[in-house]
Chain A
Amino acid sequence: MNSMKKLFSVPFICFILCGTIVPMGVIAYYGLTDREGLFTLKNIMEIATVDHAKALGMSLLLSFLATTICLILAFPLGLILKDSKLGKKGFMVFLFILPMWMNFVLRTMAWQVLLEKNGILGGLGIINTPTAVVLGMVYDYLPFMVLPIYNALVKIDNSVIEAAYDLGADYKRVLFKIIVPLSVPGIVSGITMVFVPSLTTFAISNMLGGGKVNLIGNIIEQEFTASANWNLGSGLSLVMMIFIVISMALIEKFDRNGEGNMI
Chain B
Amino acid sequence: MKKYGKLLYLGIIVLFLYLPIFTLMVLSFNKGKSMSAWQGTSLKWYIEMFRNEEIINALGNTLTIALWASILATIVGLLACIGMNAMRDKSRSFFMGINNIPLLNADIVTGISIMMSFMLFGISLNYASVLFAHITFCIPYVILSIMPKFKQLENQTYEAALDLGATPLYAFFHIVLPDLMPGIMAGFLLSFTMSVDDFVITHFTRGAGINTLSTLIYSQLKIGVRPTLYALSTVIFVLVLVFLIFINIASGKGESKISAKSASKEDYDYKGSSPFKKFAIIFGILVVIVFAIKFTPTVPGKVTEKGVVYVYNFGDYIDPEVVADFEEETGYSVVTDYFDTNEEMYPVIKNSSARYDVVCASDYMIDKMIKENLLAKIDFRYIPNIVNLQENIRHFTESFDKDMSYAVPHTWGTYGILYNTKMIKEVPIGWSDLWAEKNKGTIIMPNSIREAYMIGAKMLGYSINTVNEGELKEITELLRKQKPLVYAYGNDNARDLMIGNSAALGVVTSGEVLYAMDENPDLNFIVPKEGTEVWTDMWAITSRAKNKEGAEAWINYMLSEKAARKNFEYLTYGIPNKKIKDLTDNPILNPSDEVLSRCETLKSLGSKGDDLYSKYWKDFKS
Residue A178, interface by CB 8 Å: no
Residue A142, interface by CB 8 Å: yes
Is the pair B103, A193 in contact by a Cβ cutoff of 8 Å? yes
Give the contacting residue for A139; candidates B16, B24, B86, B503; CB below 8 A: B16
In the docked arrangement, what's the CA distance between A96 and B186, Å? 13
Interface string of B69-84 (1 = CB under 8 A from A): 0000001110110111
Residue B259, interface by CB 8 Å: yes
In the complex where A260-B147, A263-B186 touch, is A104 in contact with B256 (Cβ < 8 A)?
no
Contacts of A112 in B (CB 8 A): 35, 493
| Closest A residue to B3 using CB positions | A84
Is the pair B196, A101 in contact by a Cβ cutoff of 8 Å? yes
Contacts of A21 in B (CB 8 A): 98
Q: How far is the CB of A119 from chain B (nearest CB, A)?
A: 7
Is the pair A26, B136 in contact by a Cβ cutoff of 8 Å? no
Q: Interface SS of chain B: helix, strand, loop or mixed?
A: helix
In the complex where A5-B86, A20-B98, A90-B248 touch, is A229 in contact with B110 (Cβ < 8 A)?
no
Interface string of B1-41 (1 = CB under 8 A from A): 00000100110011011111101100100000001100000
Interface string of B578-622 (1 = CB under 8 A from A): 000000000000000000000000000001001101110111011
In the complex where A20-B102, A24-B113, A113-B23 touch, is A154 in contact with B264 (Cβ < 8 A)?
yes
In the docked arrangement, what's the CA distance between A51 and B256, Å? 56
Is the pair A217, B106 in contact by a Cβ cutoff of 8 Å? yes
Contacts of B148 in A (CB 8 A): 151, 259-261
Contacts of B237 in A (CB 8 A): 98, 101-102
Is the pair A220, B77 in contact by a Cβ cutoff of 8 Å? no
Residue B344, interface by CB 8 Å: yes
Contacts of B622 in A (CB 8 A): 50-51, 54-55, 214
Interface string of A103-118 (1 = CB under 8 A from B): 1111111111110111
Residue B289, interface by CB 8 Å: no
Residue B505, interface by CB 8 Å: no
Interface string of A218-259 (1 = CB under 8 A from B): 111111111111100100010011001001100110001111
Q: How far is the CB of A148 from chain B (nearest CB, A)?
A: 9
In the docked arrangement, what's the CA distance between A100 and B144, Å? 19
Is the pair A200, B266 in contact by a Cβ cutoff of 8 Å? no
Give the contacting residue for A80; candidates B10, B82, B194; CB below 8 A: B10
Is the pair B86, A227 in contact by a Cβ cutoff of 8 Å? no
Contacts of A114 in B (CB 8 A): 19-20, 23
Is the pair B614, A106 in contact by a Cβ cutoff of 8 Å? no
Is the pair A158, B264 in contact by a Cβ cutoff of 8 Å? yes
Contacts of A248 in B (CB 8 A): 97, 100-101, 104
In the docked arrangement, what's the CA distance between A201 and B347, Å? 22
Interface string of A126-141 (1 = CB under 8 A from B): 0110000000000100
| Closest B residue to A217 using CB positions | B106
Is the pair A252, B199 in contact by a Cβ cutoff of 8 Å? no
Q: How far is the CB of A47 from chain B (nearest CB, A)?
A: 12
Is the pair B490, A23 in contact by a Cβ cutoff of 8 Å? no
Q: How far is the CB of A142 from chain B (nearest CB, A)?
A: 7
| Closest B residue to A212 using CB positions | B489
Q: Interface SS of chain A: helix, strand, loop or mixed?
A: helix
In the docked arrangement, what's the CA distance between A209 and B343, Å? 22
In the complex where A6-B83, A258-B96 touch, is A73 in contact with B104 (Cβ < 8 A)?
no
Give the contacting residue for A107; candidates B21, B83, B248; CB below 8 A: B21
Is the pair A200, B108 in contact by a Cβ cutoff of 8 Å? yes
Residue B150, interface by CB 8 Å: yes
Within 8 A of B (CB), among A43-77: 50-52, 54-55, 73, 76-77
Is the pair A88, B95 in contact by a Cβ cutoff of 8 Å? no
Residue A89, interface by CB 8 Å: yes
- Some 20 contacts from A to B, beta carbons below 8 A apart, are A16-B95, A23-B117, A24-B101, A87-B266, A95-B14, A98-B237, A101-B196, A101-B197, A101-B233, A106-B230, A106-B233, A117-B501, A196-B106, A210-B489, A214-B621, A214-B622, A224-B108, A226-B341, A227-B614, A263-B145
Residue B217, interface by CB 8 Å: yes
Is the pair A8, B83 in contact by a Cβ cutoff of 8 Å? yes
Contacts of B610 in A (CB 8 A): 227-229
Q: How far is the CB of B219 from chain A (nearest CB, A)?
A: 11
Is the pair A240, B106 in contact by a Cβ cutoff of 8 Å? yes
Residue A262, interface by CB 8 Å: yes
Contacts of B247 in A (CB 8 A): 90
Contacts of A123 in B (CB 8 A): none
CB-based closest 4 A-B pairs: A211-B489, A9-B83, A19-B136, A210-B488
| Closest A residue to B244 using CB positions | A94
Q: How far is the CB of A19 from chain B (nearest CB, A)?
A: 3
Q: How far is the CB of A145 from chain B (nearest CB, A)?
A: 11
